[in-house]
Structure formats: structure tokens, C-alpha cells
Amino acid sequence: MTALADVVAFACLLSGAALCLTAGLGLVRFPDVLSRMHAGTKPQVLGVLLVMVGAAIRLDGWANAWMLLLVAAFQLLTAPVSAHLISRVAYRRRHVRRDLLLVDEYAGTGHQDERYRGDEPGDAPPEDPRPAAGRPG
């Protein structure tokens, strides 16, 4: 029984660690902020859940299990919030590679800033050609 529980726990831990390695690889190899975030949120939800299940099996006792469940629930609650904030700012600040998008429902509706604000990457799309004094606001 204990050996079987250990096998299950180590399988969960190994899967979670493999997801962490995958996140690092995706962060290095993917082209823009949105796809890097897509890779980076793999261990944020499934990886953390698997690691917490493995740790809860290994650390017996209900106090530890509840604490690990709290961490997992908190990850599930907060990962969408921060991902939403970061991706909204990334779209408005032209951090998205528009040429790599298949569907862009925000295109041409003024959801992006017209002018650069200084923190864009080098491959950002060109800014609005109107002079700075001529635009409203």
C-alpha cells in the first residue's frame, strides 16, 4: 500500500517537474508575450496541481493536505486574473506579433495605443504615422 502510494506520488511529482521544464523551454523559444505566457502558465495550473497532489500523498496528515489544497486553489483563482491583466496590457502596447495571429478580433477598433510608449520590443508593428501634435488628447 505504501509502495503503491509512493509510486503514484512520484508519478505526479515527475509530471509536474516535466511541466516546469516545458515552461522554461517555451519561455525561451516562443516569439512574443502571449505565446510565452501560454507556455508559462502550464506549470501554473496543471503543474502545481500535480506537484501538490504528489506532496499531499507523501506528507501524510490532514493539516498539510489542507495547506497544499489552499495553495492549489489559490493558483487556480489567481492565474486567470494575472494572465488577463498581462495580455490586455500586451495587446494595447503592441507586444503581440500581429503577423503570427490567425484571428484578431480587436483589429482596427482602436484597442491599441496609437503611439509608442517606450517599452515595445524591436519587432512591434509600426506606430501611427500622424504627427504627435495632430492627434486628439
Q: Which residues contact 56 (CB under 8 A, 6 or more apart)?
A: 64, 65, 68, 69
**What number of CA atoms fall less than 13 Å from residue 57's CA on the CB side?**
18
Classified as helix, coil or strand, 124 is: coil
Is 90 one of the binding residues for another protein (CB under 8 A)? yes
Q: Answer for the pair 41, 25: CB distance below 8 angstroms, yes or no.
A: no
Which residue number, 98 or 117, has a Cβ lying nearer to another protein?
A: 117
Q: Shortest distance, CB of residue 84 to another protein, whole angstroms?
A: 9
**Interface size with another protein, residues (CB under 8 A):** 64
Of 8, 71, 97, 114, the one binding another protein by CB under 8 A: 71
Q: Shortest distance, CB of residue 63 to another protein, whole angstroms?
A: 8
- Binding track over 48-67 against another protein, x by CB under 8 A: x--xx-xx-xxx-x-xx--x
**What number of CA atoms fall less than 13 Å from residue 118's CA on the CB side?**
0
Number of H helices and number of E strands within the chain? 5, 0
Q: Residue 9: how many CB atoms within 10 A of its CB?
A: 17
Q: Shortest distance, CB of residue 108 to another protein, whole angstroms?
A: 22
Applying CB under 8 A, which residues contact another protein? 9-10, 13-14, 16-18, 20-25, 27-28, 33, 36-37, 40-41, 43-44, 47-48, 51-52, 54-55, 57-59, 61, 63-64, 67-68, 70-71, 74-75, 78, 81-82, 85-86, 88-90, 92-93, 95, 115-122, 132-135, 137
